[in-house]
């Protein structure tokens, strides 16, 4: 997906850009509202990640102006302010959601998905691999016309594996993608989700292969 | 403790002072009417007595062998006109009483009295007014002093004075009554602007920090100016507090976000298990401090807003759905589902939207944190008579004996949660919000495992 990141802190912006790129997203960075305006005129974005305190104005005013101009690119506000005082006003100005800094990128991803799902989603998010179609917004895998729903962790596991088919992902890597760092989990916790995902993939040419002692990979017959 | 005099009611003091002034004026009125009446009546009596004494004196004739006395009764009939008063006389020739009452008191100075002198003396169980004068007659060619005393009791005079005094008293009382009434009205009208001002200040909403533009009399202007200066200072202080909270959050969180993103990137790029463990614990520490900072600031906001609560009627059902919707992506990350049982119709309470939202957010967030993956968190809202109960129930690890009181103390956490990030302020916030809204909060072990938290609030 293509994001516009409006954030005046260069360190954070570059880190977020790099981090989101790891998940396969394209991120353009605007350090001010004026730059953001230019980016929006030049290219379409799936989503805007908007900071509130910017050198040339308040992100909320920018958001309100966008909505008045009937530009309805989904917006997730990144707020650094005390969560309590901002929440209400943000959603009232037309933000689709907000996330409090410092954010968990997995949570950001979940919120982006929820926003796009509410907005009716875009067809180009569909991904095909072997004989299956994967819809990350609806969280379904369709095999031979039969849609199978994935739970959130199954979905994220599949997304990771699908991001680099035939590449081996180690158990610790997968654990980091599935579980929050606040949870204490053993590497074996991943096995449950691999087993479930295999069940969902039953009957497809795609399958998850165990590479003994190393990890897992998605491959197709 | 004795209240200082100044703190007594201005109205009471004003009325009291006006009443004292009115009473003094009424008494003065009474006394002056009485003394004028007294003097007038006395002058009248003196005139008649003087005329009678002169008439008697004029009838005295000196002869070869004595003084000829011819009492003119017309003179006494003049005196008899005044009611039941008795009349006395005494005539002395060369100091010897020749006729009349020889015990009628003599004037203080018995020198030559050509004009009558008047004096009051006690005489025969009563008081009499006496007119006395002296003439010199020639008896046997020698001058002889003859004194004439005419006296009259004062009953008639006293009756007149008493009647006039009664009228004066009635007038004084009437004056006092009217003055008392006027003083009540005056006190009311003088203090009305003060009361209006007080009402105008009291009627204000808690967030209304505009200066007072109420029309006030000139005497109250310094007070209003001082009040407005105070309001301005208060507003500035509150704005500074809000700005400080916002900026503190910004300066703490933005670098934390950078650290966290960098750590996640590094974690993706390394396979070394030691490095990965270090990075994970770094991320955990970031999360820990971010949450602590966030809840400290939330707590500060809650305390600050509890003092200046923005009361409004709001739909708790909608608020609950909003909070649940907002947290569902977070729940989803653990494959948790939020089962929300909330009536479709509005459930109205009066309160501060931000505070209530913060309390609900904390309750649901807590349940998500302590639930194992793939469970269900049940959120229910039930109106119950005059209050409404919100319950949030999970199948997590429960409380292991901790009580609501333990868990709502600042920075106190359960004994069984060391492995989960938390600040020990979440439930403190919920409890404070409940107390600020006249509600109750409690949390207990749930039958069958997990925790069950409830928040009861009075309905609007």
Tell me if residue A180 falls in helix, strand or coil.
coil
What's the complex ipTM? Answer: 0.84
Task: For residue B399, give both structure tokens.
Answer: 């409380």
Beta bridge partners of B454: B391, B442
Contacts of A184-193 with C-beta under 8 Å, sequence gap 24+, read A184/B419, A190/A157, A193/A153, A193/A154, A193/A157
Per CB-CB distance under 8 Å, the chain B contacts of A100 are: 253, 294
Residue to substitute from B239, B260, B423, interface A, most A β-carbons within 10 A: B260
Task: From chain B, pick out residues whose CB is under 8 angstroms from the CB of A152.
Answer: 332-335
Q: Residues with Cβ < 8 Å from B207, sequence gap 6 or more?
A: B308, B310
Is A191 an 8 Å CB contact of chain B? no
User: What whole-number distance in Å separates Cα of residue B227 and Cα of residue B222?
Assistant: 9
Note whether A82 contacts B: Cβ–Cβ < 8 A. Answer: yes
Residues from chain A that touch B359, judged by Cβ atoms under 8 A, are none
CB atoms B261 and A15 under 8 Å: yes
Q: Does the CB of A168 have a partner CB in chain B at under 8 Å?
A: no
Residues of B in contact with A82 (CB under 8 A): 245-246, 249, 294, 297-298, 300-301
B319 with B356: CB under 8 angstroms?
Answer: yes
- Average pLDDT across each block of 10 residues of chain B; the chain has 460 residues. List them in order: 59 86 90 88 87 86 78 75 77 84 81 77 88 85 86 84 87 89 87 84 73 80 88 85 77 88 90 88 87 80 71 91 91 92 93 88 92 92 93 90 81 76 83 91 91 93
pLDDT for the residue B1: 46
* Chain B residues touching residue A151 (CB < 8 angstroms): 335, 374
Most B-contacting residue of A47, A82, A167 (CB-CB within 10 A), to test interface? A82
Answer with the residue of higher pLDDT: B333 or A88.
B333
Cβ of B260 within 8 Å of Cβ of A97? The answer is no
Q: How many contacts does A have with B, using Cβ atoms within 8 A?
A: 139
Give the closest of A19, A53, A88 to B261, CB-based: A19
pLDDT reading at A50 higher than 80: yes
More confident residue, A29 or B193: A29
DSSP element (H, E) containing A13? helix A10-22
Q: Does A106 touch chain B (CB under 8 A)?
A: yes
Q: Is some CB atom of chain B closer than 8 A to the CB atom of A180?
A: yes
Cα separations in angstroms, B184 against B11, B14, B15, B181:
9, 9, 6, 5
Residue A163 sits at the chain B interface (C-beta within 8 Å): no
Q: Does A152 lie at the interface with B, CB-CB under 8 angstroms?
A: yes
Tell me the C-alpha to C-alpha distance, in Å, between residue A30 and each of A41, A49, B450: 13, 10, 46
Q: A80 in contact with B at a CB cutoff of 8 Å? A: yes
Is A159 in CB contact (< 8 Å) with chain B?
no
* More confident of the two residues B249 and A150: A150
A81 contact B CB<8A: yes
Give the other-Cβ count within 10 Å of A172's Cβ.
Answer: 17
CA–CA distance, B458 with B299 (Å, rounded to integer): 23
Report the distance separating Cα B135 and Cα B113, nearest Å. 7
**Better pLDDT: A64 or B216:** A64
Cβ-nearest to B249 among A16, A82, A170: A82
Report the distance separating Cα B454 and Cα B431, nearest Å.
10
Whether residue A83 has pLDDT greater than 80: no
Contact call for A9 and B284, based on CB within 8 A: no
Size of chain B, expressed as the number of residues it contains:
460
| Angstroms from A110 CA to nearest CA on chain B | 6
Nearest CA in chain A to B335: A152
Task: Give the list of residues 6+ apart from residue A99 with CB closer than 8 angstroms, or none.
Answer: A76, A77, A78, A79, A107, A108, A111
Q: What contacts B321, CB < 8 A, 6 or more positions away?
A: B340, B342
Smallest CA–CA separation between A208 and chain B, in Å? 21
Q: What is the percent of chain A with per-residue pLDDT over 70, rounded to a whole number?
A: 92
Residues of A in contact with B250 (CB under 8 A): 53, 80-81
Whole-angstrom distance, CA of residue B336 vs CA of residue B372: 8
């Amino acid at each position: 997906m293509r994001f516009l990141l409006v954030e005046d802190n260069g360190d954070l912006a570059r880190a977020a850009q790099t981090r989101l790129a790891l998940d396969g997203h394209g991120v353009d960075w605007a350090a001010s509202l004026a730059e953001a305006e230019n980016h929006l005129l030049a290219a379409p974005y799936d989503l805007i990640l908007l900071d509130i305190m910017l050198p040339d104005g308040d992100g909320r005013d920018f958001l309100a102006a966008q909505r008045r101009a009937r530009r309805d690119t989904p917006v997730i506000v990144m707020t650094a302010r005390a969560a309590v005082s901002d929440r209400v006003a943000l959603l009232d100005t037309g933000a689709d959601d907000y996330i409090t800094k410092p954010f968990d990128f997995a949570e950001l991803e979940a919120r982006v998905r929820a926003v796009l799902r509410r907005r009716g989603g875009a067809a180009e998010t569909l991904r095909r691999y072997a004989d299956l179609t994967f819809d990350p917004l609806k969280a379904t895998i369709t095999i031979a016309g039969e849609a199978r729903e994935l739970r959130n962790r199954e979905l994220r596991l599949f997304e990771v594996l699908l991001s680099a088919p035939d590449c081996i992902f180690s158990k610790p890597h997968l654990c980091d993608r599935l579980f929050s760092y606040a949870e204490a989990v053993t590497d074996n916790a991943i096995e449950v989700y691999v087993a479930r995902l295999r069940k969902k993939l039953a009957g497809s040419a795609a399958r998850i292969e165990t590479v003994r002692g190393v990890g897992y990979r998605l491959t197709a017959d | 403790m004795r209240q200082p005099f100044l703190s007594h009611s201005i109205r009471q003091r004003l009325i009291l002072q006006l009443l004292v002034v009115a009473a003094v004026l009424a008494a003065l009125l009474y006394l002056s009417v009485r003394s004028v009446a007294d003097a007038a009546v006395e002058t009248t009596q003196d005139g008649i007595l003087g005329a009678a004494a002169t008439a008697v004196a004029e009838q005295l004739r000196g002869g070869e062998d004595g003084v000829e006395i011819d009492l003119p009764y017309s003179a006494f009939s003049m005196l008899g006109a005044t009611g039941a008063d008795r009349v006395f006389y005494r005539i002395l020739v060369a100091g010897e009483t020749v006729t009349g009452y020889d015990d009628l008191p003599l004037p203080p100075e018995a020198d030559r009295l050509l004009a009558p002198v008047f004096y009051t003396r006690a005489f025969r169980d009563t008081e009499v007014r006496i007119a006395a004068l002296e003439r010199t007659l020639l008896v046997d060619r020698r001058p002889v002093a003859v004194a004439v005393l005419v006296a009259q009791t004062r009953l008639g005079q006293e009756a007149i004075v008493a009647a006039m005094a009664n009228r004066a008293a009635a007038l004084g009382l009437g004056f006092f009554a009217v003055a008392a009434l006027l003083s009540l009205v005056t006190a009311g009208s003088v203090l009305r602007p003060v009361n209006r001002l007080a009402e105008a200040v009291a009627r204000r909403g808690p967030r209304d920090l505009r200066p007072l533009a109420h029309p006030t009399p000139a005497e109250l202007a310094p007070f209003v100016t001082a009040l407005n200066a105070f309001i301005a200072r208060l507003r500035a202080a509150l704005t500074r507090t809000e700005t400080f909270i916002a900026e503190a959050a910004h300066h703490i969180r933005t670098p934390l976000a950078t650290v966290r993103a960098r750590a996640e990137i590094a974690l993706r790029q390394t396979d070394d298990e030691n490095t990965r463990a270090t990075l994970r614990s770094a991320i955990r520490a970031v999360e820990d401090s971010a949450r602590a900072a966030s809840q400290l600031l939330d707590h500060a906001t809650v305390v600050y807003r509890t003092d200046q609560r923005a009361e409004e009627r709001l739909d708790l059902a909608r608020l609950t759905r909003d909070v649940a919707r907002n947290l569902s992506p977070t729940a989803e990350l653990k494959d948790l589902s939020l089962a929300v049982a909330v009536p479709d119709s509005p459930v109205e309470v009066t309160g501060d939207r931000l505070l209530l939202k913060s309390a609900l957010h904390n309750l649901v967030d807590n349940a998500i944190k302590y639930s194992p993956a793939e469970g269900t968190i049940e959120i229910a809202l039930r109106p119950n008579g005059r209050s409404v109960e919100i319950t949030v129930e999970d199948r997590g690890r429960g409380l292991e004996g901790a009580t609501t009181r333990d868990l709502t103390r600042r920075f106190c956490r359960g004994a069984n949660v060391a492995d989960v990030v938390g600040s020990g302020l979440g439930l403190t916030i919920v409890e404070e919000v409940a107390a600020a809204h006249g509600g109750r909060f409690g949390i207990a072990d749930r039958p069958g495992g997990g925790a069950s938290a409830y928040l009861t609030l009075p309905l609007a």
